[in-house]
Chains A and B, each alone.
Chain A
Amino acid sequence: MLKALWRPTHPAHTTLGLILWSLWFVALYGGLSVACELVPPTLEQGAVNWLNASLLLLTLATTGVLLWLTQRCWRAAKRFEGSSQERLIAQVGAGAHGFSAGAALIVGLPVTALPPCL
């Protein structure tokens, strides 16, 4: 069953990227909120501190995974002709993964410029 789920033409891939994005978003916002309450970096450090660095790493790692999944679905879509069910799923999956990658990068980028707990 897991093997079937992992195939890029499985319908789960139409939402997998967006689910990963959602989990990343929860981790980003939740992590920031909890860290600011418990162990906030000093204001003098500005945007360069352990918290922002961790959030940036998380963002880049998530974006990387999502881009890899995009490429995987895109390649799978090319293997199918016309308007087959598999092609639709793989194309939509590629689009969803790709959008999620871009969304993670855009939403996460402010960590390079803003102090976290101000």
Chain B
Amino acid sequence: MTEPDPNQHRAFERVWGNRPGWGALAAVNHTSIGLRFMGTGIFFFLVGGLLAMLIRTQIALPEQEIIGPETYNQLFTMHGTVMMFLFAIPVLEGLAIYMIPKMIGTRDLVFPRISSLGYYCYLFGGLIILSSLFLGIAPNSGWFMYTPLSSAEYAPGPGSDFWLLGITFVEISAMAAGIELTVSILRSRAPGMTLSKMPIFCWYILAMALMIVFGFPPLILGSILLELERAAGLPFFQVAGGGDPLLWQHLFWLFGHPEVYIIFLPAAGIVSTLIPVFAQRPLVGYRWIVLAIMITGFISFGLWVHHMFTVGIPQLAQAFFSAASMLVAVPTAIQVFAWLATLWVGKVIFSLPMLWVFGFLVVFVCGGLTGVMLALVPFNWQVHDTHFVVAHLHYVLVGGMFFPLMAGLYYWLPHLSGRMPSRNLGNWGFWLTFIGFNVTFLLMHLTGLLGMPRRVYTYESGMGWDGLNLLSSVGGFIMSAGIALIILDVVLHFRFGKPAPRNPWNADTLEWATRTPPSSYNFLSQPRIETRHPLWDRPDLPDTIAAGAHGLRDIGHGRREIYGTDAVHARLKEVIHLPTNSWWPLLSALALAVVCISLLIRTYPLALVALAVATGLLLRWSWENGAHPKAAPLGLQEPTDPPLHSRTCDGPGLWGMAVTLLADATLYLSLLFSWFYLWTVSPEWRLPEETPLALAPLVLCGLLLAAAVALYSRMTQRLRLGQDRNLLANTALVALLGVLHTAALIGVFAGADLRPTELAHDAVLMVMLFYLLFHSGLATVATGLQAWRVKLGYLSARLPYEPMVLKPFWMYTLGIFWLSVAVFLLLPMAWGSA
């Protein structure tokens, strides 16, 4: 490969590279952040694996007392929690963060500082959860934290709080990744890379990212409600107060089932990327696979009740979910047949990554078949909460995620190290893992069919489970030996691995057009891409990119620049200037960690102070944007065709806001669902005789908000037309209206006759009011800051971008306000009078 001119390389590294020493903690570069996510994920995987070995040791033989019941409960809860929340999702997010910009031919993700914040939230949240284990106060109610087992009555210690607060903290990271991957894929692909030319891996990641956006908010809401119940006594899940413990199950599985596919889809994306490379021909049925990805993404949200078949739901409803659960096998089968067809018509190269792909095909198809069995209601009733379910979920998750991840690891290892792993060690690692896994979990199906329940710390001898459990434990240790060999191989290859040749697998996708290991800027010049297989159709691309033959090769301006293109046709629209290394994400995450810890130890004044500090840090961070001197101040040396994104009315920030609002709306819909669910189902739900909120002040409050939104909309329309007369006065007036509206809302709240610890009805109203206050307050503060920015010259007709980004937030705030008035106030009043 042609190396770039050393001077130009140094100039690019100065702009794009990380700071030396401790300064590396301020890095925002996607390669660094992706690697950190994956490295941390692997650490948590080893912790989770160690817990699994302790569990298998305890139940290897009957009537053992190596581990007591309380510790055992903590171990299986933490094993599931660590593997699902701290390993599987983050490691795949890390892979996507590392890989996506390279595959779509750009230099970074569109919100690099958000990546960094996401990583630190994940790291701190993970460590907080893990610390509970070492303190002996880990959660012990199972990884899905069913109420009332996890409620204050049956779990009085802080274990559940660690889970609820820690996981919510970690979920900030998942949401951040979901939003920025979605926007990056849609708005920063190489010019010419239309949707139909996009690498198949990007389709999978796009689906995963959107599923995170829609899938996580129900759990975030559920966690907030349960923590409020535990800490403040709000009875969302207590029947006596008008709540219902089954609400938690609905909220959890509304997240939990899509999560399985959030984990599976990127892993399947790895398989769909590798198989064509090792078959040396394009993927058969690209369109079918795109279709299958979309179907999986949607249908997976319609299956959650199959986790609840035994809770007393009407048979007809169970039949709906049973049929929907079987239907999800269709898109999965489409993918499996497309992979088999590609292998069938290609000339397969049997290398190490392919070994893991074959292992995946065998194990995952078995897991899928037992999934179809579990979709059958009568069978599900029989094996519910037995080891059969444990075996099934491990076949799906280990087969569907871990095996493809290992295939990807061996495939992309030369990319990140520039060296090849050992084939011998790798083969041993695979076979030990494959054999160990099947010995452990294939037999566990039988243990389950023989009636062994999950989550029992010991069992009597003579139930027919003794030998099977012993063999399962032996299998677990064989698998551990396999994983140890893989780790050894990876570690050794950095020192002893043969230098990797250029594009060692003759792959077709753009990540192999970078240097290996990659430089901080990926591509010295950004090419136009009009084929689905750029490196097969244009093998000279790595050379021409390094030689600076394509766009954005100038770095003299000192900005981190990438191309912004339109979502469908990838037509060049603008030059996106990205923020550089920064301490703000780390400091903000630290402040949020203090909030989390102070809530855990119930030191609420400290939590309030830390929250104020975190808010201040986040706002200060947001200040360095657009035309700020530290971002892209107006100047002579800036492109006009296409222009910088902050000089336009459209850009990644606007898309980021739209996707964020989708997640926000999902959270709000989850609250509406909770309201209607409790109203309909909870046997003790009571509507107060008189509404606790005063209607007239609330309407006045809404009119103030409507006036603010109308004025703001008019202002943005004028900016769009290039008119900025009275911009400062208008922005300040909107902020003032926002202040009045927020103050009026606080007044309504303060004057409300709410009894949130007695009635679930009032508790939900209280959460709704806080939700409205948060949005109104944030919109007001942001507009106030914009008024200040107008004064400083960061906002004008030439710089109209920021109001365009904030406008949808104002509109959303107005929408939820009136919807809340209608649903939470007017509807109960109408119902009461009827």
Contacts and interface: CB of A to CB of B under 8 A. Distances in A.
B294 A88 contact: no
A116 interface: yes
Interface in B124-183: none
B754 interface: no
Nearest to B323: A107
Given A11-B195, A32-B314, A95-B291, A110 B319 contact: yes
B612 interface: no
Interface string A36-70: 11100000000000001000000000000000000
A89 interface: yes
Given A99-B291, A110-B319, A22 B196 contact: no
Nearest to B331: A99
Contacts of B298: 15, 18-19, 21-22
Contact of A91 (B287, B305, B324, B569): B287
A34 B679 CA distance: 10
Which of under 10, 10 to 19, 20 to 34, or 35 or more describes the interface residues of B? 20 to 34
Nearest to A10: B568
A92 B681 contact: no
Interface in A92-118: 92, 95-96, 99, 103, 106-111, 114-118
Nearest to B295: A99
A108 B321 CA distance: 10
Nearest to B297: A18
Nearest to B680: A37
A28 interface: yes
A85 B314 contact: no
B314 A34 contact: no
A94 B288 CA distance: 11
Contacts of A21: 298, 302
A109 B680 contact: no
B250 to A, nearest CB: 11
A92 B324 contact: no
Contacts of A19: 298
A88 B327 contact: no
Contacts of B196: 83-85, 88-89
A28 to B, nearest CB: 6
B320 A110 contact: yes
B301 A116 contact: no
B606 interface: no
A85 B316 contact: no
Interface in B734-792: none
B647 to A, nearest CB: 24
A116 B568 contact: no
B570 to A, nearest CB: 10
Contacts of A14: 294
A32 B316 contact: yes
Contacts of A37: 680-681
Nearest to B568: A11
A116 B316 contact: yes
B327 A106 contact: yes
A85 B288 CA distance: 15
* Interface bin, chain A: 35 or more
A65 to B, nearest CB: 16
B823 interface: no
A89 B195 contact: yes
Nearest to A47: B316
Interface string B273-317: 000000000000001101100110111011001000000001111
A106 B680 CA distance: 27
A95 B288 CA distance: 8
A85 B194 contact: yes
A15 B294 contact: yes
Interface string B315-353: 111011001100100110000000000000000000000
A110 B323 contact: yes
Contact of B299 (A29, A32, A103, A109): A103
Interface string B693-711: 0000000000000000000
A96 B295 contact: yes
Contacts of B681: 33, 37
B106 to A, nearest CB: 20
A92 B295 CA distance: 10
B680 A92 contact: no
Given A28-B320, A106-B323, A110-B323, A88 B314 contact: no
Contacts of B315: 114-115, 118
Contact of A92 (B290, B297, B327, B331): B290
Given A15-B294, A18-B295, A25-B302, A114 B327 contact: no
Contacts of B314: 32-33, 36, 116-118
Contacts of B299: 18, 103
A95 B330 CA distance: 12
Contacts of A18: 294-295, 297-299
Nearest to A87: B196
Given A18-B294, A85-B569, A96-B294, A29 B320 contact: yes
A109 B316 CA distance: 10
Among A11, A37, A103, find the residue whose CB has the most chain B CB atoms closer than 10 A. Answer: A103
A115 B319 CA distance: 11
A115 B302 CA distance: 21
Contacts of B327: 103, 106-107
A92 B294 contact: yes
Interface in B29-52: none
A83 B681 CA distance: 51
Contacts of B301: 22
A109 B323 contact: yes
B291 to A, nearest CB: 4
30 contacts: A11-B568, A18-B295, A25-B302, A25-B320, A25-B324, A29-B317, A32-B317, A33-B317, A33-B680, A84-B196, A85-B194, A85-B569, A88-B287, A88-B290, A91-B287, A92-B287, A92-B290, A95-B291, A99-B291, A103-B299, A107-B324, A109-B323, A110-B319, A111-B316, A114-B319, A115-B315, A116-B314, A116-B316, A117-B314, A117-B316
Given A32-B320, A88-B290, 20 more contacts: A11-B567, A15-B294, A18-B298, A21-B302, A22-B302, A29-B320, A32-B317, A33-B681, A37-B681, A38-B680, A52-B316, A83-B196, A85-B568, A91-B287, A96-B294, A103-B299, A106-B327, A110-B316, A118-B314, A118-B316
Interface of B: 194-196, 287-288, 290-291, 294-295, 297-299, 301-302, 305, 314-317, 319-320, 323-324, 327, 330-331, 567-569, 680-681
**A-B complex: 5 closest residue pairs judged by Cβ atoms:** A110-B319, A18-B298, A88-B196, A95-B291, A107-B323
